[in-house]
Structure 1
Amino acid sequence: MKIFKFAKKHIIKYKFFIFLFLLSNIVSWTMSILLPYITGTYIDLLLKFNSMKTVGIFSIELLAIGIISIITSILSNYFYIKAQTNAMFDLNAHILDHVKKMPILYFNDKDSTYLNQRINSDCNTITSFVINSFPNIIINSLTLIVIFCVFSKINIYLTLLLLILIPVYLFIYKLFERPLYDYGYEYKESQSSFFSQMDEQLYNIDLIKLNAAFDDSSQQFRNSFLEFFPSVLKYSKISYLFSSTDSMMRIASQVILFFFGGTQIINKKLSIGQFTIMSSYFNMIMNCISFFLNFGKSYQDALVSYNRIIEILNNPKEINGSRKLESINTIELYNVSFSYNNSSTIIENFSYEFNKGKIYSIIGKNGTGKSTLAKLILGILIEYYKGKIYYNDIEIKDLDLYDTRKKIIGVSEQEPKLMSDTILNNITYGLNTYDYRDIDMFLNIFNMNIDNFKNGINTNIYESSNNISGGEKLKFSLIKTFLKDPDVIILDEPTSALDTNSIDNLINILQKIKKDKIIIIITHNQNILNIADEIIDTSYSFNSNSPSFVK
């Protein structure tokens, strides 16, 4: 089965816990099998001998079975949680690793909350299904075999009568198989979208408050629910019909058992104790048959999740070569063209060479491709451009860009993204080594008094919280970039939220380090432009073969 094959490598790591889960289930199952037989035998012995000794022995046996059942149930649950939670994390991590290496434009029309909810929900469904299936199939198969053997020894006619139920159940499953899959898929998709809308309401709380858009946001949320609700009804309806059919079969089977069982007792072909055994075992048989019936439903749910995950994994990863660089001396763009989704061309036949030892400033009107140029240089848009881009005369499609960006390229964005972590972990994010003295130096250069934060450099900061300003975020991003000491530095509007003193200090740093760097700055700040060796104006440059102005 493809679901088992897919999940196997993430689950097999925890085979020890799965074995203990199976073992505890078998012990618990043994107790459940023994209890009806002991109970029926006890009734017959009590009617025959009327002895207190019989009562005492049965009570001790019942107590022992109860204690063992409770202990094994606790252990079973513990081992299951250990295996399932770890396996789910592994599968989540595997998919997330793939998603993080997919081309950047894939995410343009994707909602992160939707993707997160979808991946987490589907991984949970698959791992739960696979880990539960193996022990449950074994236990329920053993139950059917053992009980039918017991039944055949007690009364062969009732046994044959109950065997007829199996093909009936198979017919019921085939009847519901396709609707369960279709409605389950629709339900999971709409559920992911609904929770995405719910998260967006909280994420945009500042926007809602600033515009007092409480009614509008509430109506938007209601509309999202109205789109979600029909899929809930359809899935609930088919699930309820499925379970109701199972219940009707149970009732019909119970009637058959009691009618024919009562007839056998009256005709002296069955004792009351034997009937008690068969009645108890009959309920266990029905539970087993019901399990296999519902296993089909669970399989359809897991199949939906599997197909949704495969749909994500079938998206190819972005290009990343194998050649590694120790340093970058030149970056050359040759006849580079780029457009988003086949829309109007943003960059056309652009050629330029960036050399170590110079500061380059990129200026231009909004939407003329300043940030796009930076992304092209970084290889972020590697799948989408035409032309050639070289680092040290090596085409970037042949380079291990992950290694290059990690080690020798530093970037500070206009609106820096922060991790939900401490200040220290944010400014050292992605760095293998760093010196606390350098951190203190850069904090002083950018006028960051770390003592203003509750726990100093170990204060937790959050992207959407109010415990950090836009200027502080920008300064932390700049500190992280300079702390890395890369060969190539790309800064996007680095002065947009800085005070005058910090801007002056930034300029001093850039002039001091430029000898050994390629520094590219997107900016309109005149002080930065004054120290630039060359200026590229994207308002004119990107439709010709040379920049409009070279300083």
Structure 2
Amino acid sequence: MILILTIISSMLSVTAPYLLGLFFDALIASASIVRIMYICLIYLLLMTCTLFVGYELNLLKVKVHTKASYRLNSEVLFYIHRLPYDTTMFMDSSYYTQRINNDATQIISYILEALSGIIINVVSIILPSVVIFNIFPPILPGIFLAIMLYVFAYTAMRSVLYKTGMAFKEGQSVFFKKLSQQLTAIKLIKLFDLSYLFADLLNKAFAHVLKTTINYQKKAYIFSSLDSLISSVCQILFLFSGGYMVSKNLITIGNLTIVLSYISMIITSARYFFSLGKQTQDTLVCYARISELLSSSPEFNHGKEPNNIDEISIIDLSVRFSENVILHSVNMHFEKGKIYGVAGNNGTGKTTLINILAGLYRNCYSGKIILNRSISLSEINPEFMRKNLISVCPQDISLIEGSLRSNLLLGHDEPDDFYNTLEYFGLDSVIASLPNGINTSVDNHNFNLSAGEKQKIAIVRTIIKGGCVLIFDEPTSALDTLTRDRFLAYLQNHKKNKMVIIVSHDITLLQQLDEVVRMEGTTFE
């Protein structure tokens, strides 16, 4: 539909100058008022159709642009969801959100504008050229020369526009990241009086983006100046040529009006393609940045899908990030029916171990992790494992924007003992205190929930999700003694068909577990 409306719009635009030329010739020839009115009515009808088609075309473009931009945005984000966690763990959310959104929007804008613009301007070059050829052919070589000047100017500036455009967009993304940090770190800023420090960081980021912006705008101005210079010179030459032809009676005033109007239309179209060249380089920058994200290989999402996990054997496991050795030659064994504790000082690799067992780190470790004595962890479909076999309660608790119910269930069906579990962990009183009960909206910025209440939510949703392996990372750090004891009692009562691993600094809790492994440095004791 966009193509059809675009072709109609371009045909209507090309017809207008021809009618104006006929109108002027009719005036000079002292045509009858009926003929003049006839031409005016046709022109009025033409303008009305142009407005109507333009309105429909604009609405259609907005609708397609909005949907397509969202589609590209979401496709890139969903692709990032499928990347290995050790590839995305260091991504800055502010930087990449701004980068993906801006790049996706510009790519879609370029495609839609080019799709309609190229058609309109090709028609605006070809049809006027045909009319000019029939009226006064000798002027066509001059038009061709003007178009070639635009081609040479674009070729000379193309590489410079791409390089400065890349630096400009990267500078914008980095500045947006620093700008976002002014709000995301506001608690830290207040607690440690870091306003001046963060202001300095923002000023440095601004200085960099200002430098790249000015450099980009310099090149863009030179580019647009070449456009204006070529256009002005051509207009002067064509006006002079037209005046000379009229003075020698080589062309009528009406035909000259048509020719000059069409020459102006051709030059305008040539300028469009010239500016399209700049937009092309800007869009190629966006395309390169999107392609960079899509060039990473997605997570291995096929492989073996065992019904359960009865044993996990870790053999000579070593983990390294860049030059930092996190774990070295670790050997462990876990079995179903036991609750294991993993203890140790901060930085000894406890959370890293959890991430490996959950299949989040697949490319940064050496050694073997064997399940059920015969299956390597690397052979298992990680998505299937995380969905059906393993449930992890992370140390950093994230609430999803939505109701408390949706945060507890996380898309799973409500189990029969759902409300009994809530009551057991003391969440029934929390729910009763909320304005809309379990349907109250919560998120990470909801101040109605304490740290302990959020931790209870994290524990319950881990239990509801289920699986034969339950992993908890510091699950009792914000719990009161009663809830901690209930948590441990629950696990003891349900461990028969479960393998439970708890990372904790809580000595009282660790003393009540079946086995405890202490991590010191990069080794196990």
Structure 2 residue aligned with 1:287, among 265, 268, 275? Answer: 268
Q: Distance in 2 between matches of 1:177 and 1:323?
A: 51
What does 1:386-465 correspond to in 2, within 5 Å? Answer: 386-392=366-372, 393-429=374-410, 431-435=411-415, 438-448=417-427, 449-465=430-446
Displacement of 1:109 after TM fit? 4.2
| Equivalence for 1:250 | 231
User: Is the aligned partner of 1:121 residue 2:105?
Assistant: no
| Equivalence for 1:301 | 282
| Equivalence for 1:519 | 500
In structure 2, relative to structure 1, the CA distance for the partners of 1:192 and 1:355 (3 Å cut) is same
Larger mean Cα displacement after TM superposition, 400-409 or 89-98: 89-98
Query: For residue 373 of structure 1, what is the amino acid of its counterpart?
Result: L
Query: For residue 199 of structure 1, what is the amino acid of its counterpart?
Result: S
What does 1:83-102 correspond to in 2, within 5 Å? Answer: 83-102=64-83
What does 1:13-32 correspond to in 2, within 5 Å? Answer: 20-32=1-13
Query: For residue 397 of structure 2, what is the amino acid of its counterpart?
Result: P
**What SS does structure 2 have at the residue aligned with 1:164?**
helix
8 A contact 2:312–2:371 mirrored in 1 = yes
8 A contact 2:86–2:363 mirrored in 1 = no
Deviation track 1:372-412 (CA, whole Å, cap 9, x = no partner) reads 11112112112111111022221011110111101221111
Query: For residue 383 of structure 1, what is the amino acid of its counterpart?
Result: N
User: Is the aligned partner of 1:140 residue 2:121?
Assistant: yes
Deviation track 1:355-376 (CA, whole Å, cap 9, x = no partner) reads 1111001111111111111112
Structure 2 residue aligned with 1:352, among 332, 335, 343? Answer: 332
Displacement of 1:174 after TM fit? 0.9
Query: For residue 367 of structure 1, what is the amino acid of its counterpart?
Result: G
In structure 2, relative to structure 1, the CA distance for the partners of 1:516 and 1:290 (3 Å cut) is same
8 A contact 2:147–2:267 mirrored in 1 = no
Query: For residue 127 of structure 1, what is the amino acid of its counterpart?
Result: I
**What SS does structure 2 have at the residue aligned with 1:116?**
helix
Structure 2, unpaired ranges of 5+ = none
Larger mean Cα displacement after TM superposition, 521-530 or 191-200: 521-530
8 A contact 2:231–2:267 mirrored in 1 = yes
Query: For residue 381 of structure 1, what is the amino acid of its counterpart?
Result: Y
Structure 2 residue aligned with 1:277, among 258, 277, 301? Answer: 258
Displacement of 1:28 after TM fit? 1.3
8 A contact 1:40–1:276 mirrored in 2 = yes
Query: For residue 215 of structure 1, what is the amino acid of its counterpart?
Result: Y
Displacement of 1:54 after TM fit? 3.1
8 A contact 2:343–2:518 mirrored in 1 = yes
Deviation track 1:415-473 (CA, whole Å, cap 9, x = no partner) reads 212223332222222x44223x5442333222222133333333332324534332222
In structure 2, relative to structure 1, the CA distance for the partners of 1:242 and 1:438 (3 Å cut) is farther
Q: Distance in 2 between matches of 1:63 and 1:456?
A: 64
Query: For residue 423 of structure 2, what is the amino acid of its counterpart?
Result: N
Q: Distance in 2 between matches of 1:511 and 1:256?
A: 93
Task: Give the TM-score, by structure 2 length.
Answer: 0.95
Larger mean Cα displacement after TM superposition, 129-138 or 239-248: 129-138
| Equivalence for 2:159 | 178
Task: Give the TM-score, by structure 1 length.
Answer: 0.90
8 A contact 1:414–1:492 mirrored in 2 = yes
**What SS does structure 1 have at the residue aligned with 2:426?**
coil
Q: Distance in 2 between matches of 1:246 and 1:458?
A: 60
Deviation track 1:454-493 (CA, whole Å, cap 9, x = no partner) reads 3333333232453433222222211110111221110011
User: Is the aligned partner of 1:151 residue 2:132?
Assistant: yes
Q: Distance in 1 between matches of 2:245 and 2:254?
A: 13
Displacement of 1:50 after TM fit? 4.7
Q: Distance in 1 between matches of 2:119 and 2:279?
A: 16
Query: For residue 419 of structure 2, what is the amino acid of its counterpart?
Result: D
Equivalences, count: 522
User: Is the aligned partner of 1:204 residue 2:185?
Assistant: yes
8 A contact 1:187–1:235 mirrored in 2 = yes
User: Is the aligned partner of 1:384 residue 2:325?
Assistant: no
In structure 2, relative to structure 1, the CA distance for the partners of 1:294 and 1:491 (3 Å cut) is same
| Equivalence for 1:12 | none
Q: Distance in 1 between matches of 2:46 and 2:358?
A: 67
User: Is the aligned partner of 1:340 residue 2:340?
Assistant: no
Q: Distance in 2 between matches of 1:346 and 1:222?
A: 36
| Equivalence for 1:7 | none
Q: Distance in 1 between matches of 2:448 and 2:9?
A: 53
Larger mean Cα displacement after TM superposition, 114-123 or 185-194: 114-123
Deviation track 1:10-52 (CA, whole Å, cap 9, x = no partner) reads xxxxxxxxxx111111111121111111111011112223533
In structure 2, relative to structure 1, the CA distance for the partners of 1:427 and 1:156 (3 Å cut) is same
Query: For residue 370 of structure 1, what is the amino acid of its counterpart?
Result: K
Displacement of 1:522 after TM fit? 0.8
8 A contact 1:190–1:228 mirrored in 2 = yes
Displacement of 1:339 after TM fit? 2.3
Displacement of 1:280 after TM fit? 1.9
Displacement of 1:273 after TM fit? 1.5
**What SS does structure 2 have at the residue aligned with 1:381?**
coil
Q: Distance in 2 between matches of 1:455 and 1:286?
A: 65
8 A contact 1:321–1:397 mirrored in 2 = no
Q: Distance in 1 between matches of 2:225 and 2:446?
A: 49
8 A contact 1:359–1:531 mirrored in 2 = no
Deviation track 1:476-529 (CA, whole Å, cap 9, x = no partner) reads 211110111221110011111112332222122111111110000011324422
User: Is the aligned partner of 1:166 residue 2:147?
Assistant: yes
In structure 2, relative to structure 1, the CA distance for the partners of 1:383 and 1:321 (3 Å cut) is farther
Deviation track 1:325-360 (CA, whole Å, cap 9, x = no partner) reads 2221111111211222232x3322222211111100
| Equivalence for 1:492 | 473
8 A contact 2:368–2:376 mirrored in 1 = yes
Q: Among all aligned residue pairs of Structure 1 and Structure 2, give the percentage whose two residues are the same amino acid.
A: 31
8 A contact 1:320–1:397 mirrored in 2 = no
User: Is the aligned partner of 1:474 residue 2:439?
Assistant: no
Q: Distance in 2 between matches of 1:440 and 1:287?
A: 70
Query: For residue 130 of structure 2, what is the amino acid of its counterpart?
Result: C
| Equivalence for 1:3 | none
Query: For residue 332 of structure 1, what is the amino acid of its counterpart?
Result: S
Q: Distance in 2 between matches of 1:524 and 1:209?
A: 29
8 A contact 1:180–1:297 mirrored in 2 = yes
| Equivalence for 1:5 | none
User: Is the aligned partner of 1:75 residue 2:48?
Assistant: no
